[in-house]
Amino acid sequence: MNWTDGHSFIIIHPLDPFSFEECLIFLGRNEREILHTIKEGCLMKLVRLNGELILIKVQSVNDSLKVEFLNGIPSEAAREKAAEYIWEWFDLDTDLSHFYKWGSDDPVLSELIRRYTGLRMIAIHDLFEALVWAVLGQQINLTFAYTLKKRLVEAYGEKLTFHGETYWLFPSFEEIALLGEADLRKLQITGRKAAYIIGIAAAMKDGRLTKESLLKLDEQQARKALLQYKGIGAWTADYVMMKCLHVKSSFPIADVGLQNALKAAMGYERKPKLEEMEAFSHKWEGWQGYAAFYLWRSLYEAI
C-alpha cells in the first residue's frame, strides 16, 4: 500500500493502470444510491474507522487519489485505516497489467479492456452490507433493489449532516439482529428476505460468520461456509466472494445481467445457455471475477 499522510488529508498512489473516472461511472450507475455521493468529479462517503465517524471526499489529483477529511482531522490510526479502506475499495492490490496482457487476445475481453482501461473491481468493504445487498437484489430489478436499500439505510442506518447534506452509514448487523421480520416487511422487503437478513445479522452478531474467518479459507471452503446460511445461494455466495472477499476466480454464472452483457458482446440473439456460461468461466480461469465486472460495466454505456 502506497500512501502519504497529510493529516487533514491523505494521498493514495495507485499502481497503473487506474482510472478514477471509470470507477466513478460504475459507482454512479443509479441515482437511488444512498451510501455515497458524486459531485463534480468528487466522491463523498461516510465511514466509521477505528471507532471514528469520518466523512471523506475523494478526488483524482495528478494520477493519485486525494482523500480529504471533511468533518475534522481523524486520529493517526484512523487515517491509516482510511488509507486501507480506499486501497481495498478500489482493489488497488491487483496488478491490472497482468489481466490486460492475459485478456488481450480474447474476443470478448480485449474490446472491454480497451474501452474500460483502468477500471477496478469496486469492492463492498463490509461483509454484512455485501450480503444484505445481494439478498435484496434476488429476483427483482436493480432499481427496486436500490429503493429497498435506501429504505433500510434511512430506517436503521447512522447519519451525519454536513453543510446541509446528509450522509449515511449502512446499518450494523448488531442493529438489524434486534429486529423482527415485521419491521423489515414495513419497508416492502418480503417476509422471506427479512428472515434471511435477520438470520445473517444474528450469525454475525454471535461471531459464527465473519469476514476475517472467511478470508482465512480457500475459495471452495469460503463458498461452502457461506452456502450454509439461509438466503445465501450460489449466486449470492459468488457475488459476495467477488465484491467483498476479492476472489478473482469467482463467477456468478446465473447472473442475468452478466448473461445479457455476454449476449450483446457476442452478438447472440438469445442469452447464453448455462453450458456456454460454464465454457466462458473455464476459459477465463483465474480472472473470472474481473471478466464479469467488465461485462457488467458494459451494461452502463448510456451513462
Known catalytic residues are 255
E strands, the chain, where?
3-5, 9-12, 37-39, 42-49, 52-61, 64-69, 159-162, 165-168
Q: Distance between CA 57 and CA 65 in Å, rounded? A: 10
Q: What are the residues whose beta carbons fall under 8 Å from the beta carbon of 21, sequence distance 6 or more? A: 41, 60, 118
Cα 125 from chain centre: 7
Instruction: Measure Cα distances from 55 to 25, 45, 71 in Å.
Output: 21, 6, 6
**3-state class of 159 per DSSP?**
strand
What is the Cα–Cα distance from 283 to 71, expressed in whole angstroms? 48
Beta carbons of 128 and 156 less than 8 angstroms apart:
no
Calculate ∠ Cα 178-179-180, nearest 5°. Answer: 130
| Single-letter amino acid code for the residue at 219 | E
Angle 55-57-60 (CA atoms, 0-180°, nearest 5)?
160
Nearest by Cα to 2 from 63, 69, 73: 63
| Those residues with Cβ within 8 angstroms of residue 67's Cβ, 6 or more apart along the chain or in another chain | 9, 10, 11, 12, 56, 57, 58, 82, 83, 86
167 phi and psi angles, rounded to 5 deg: -120, 145
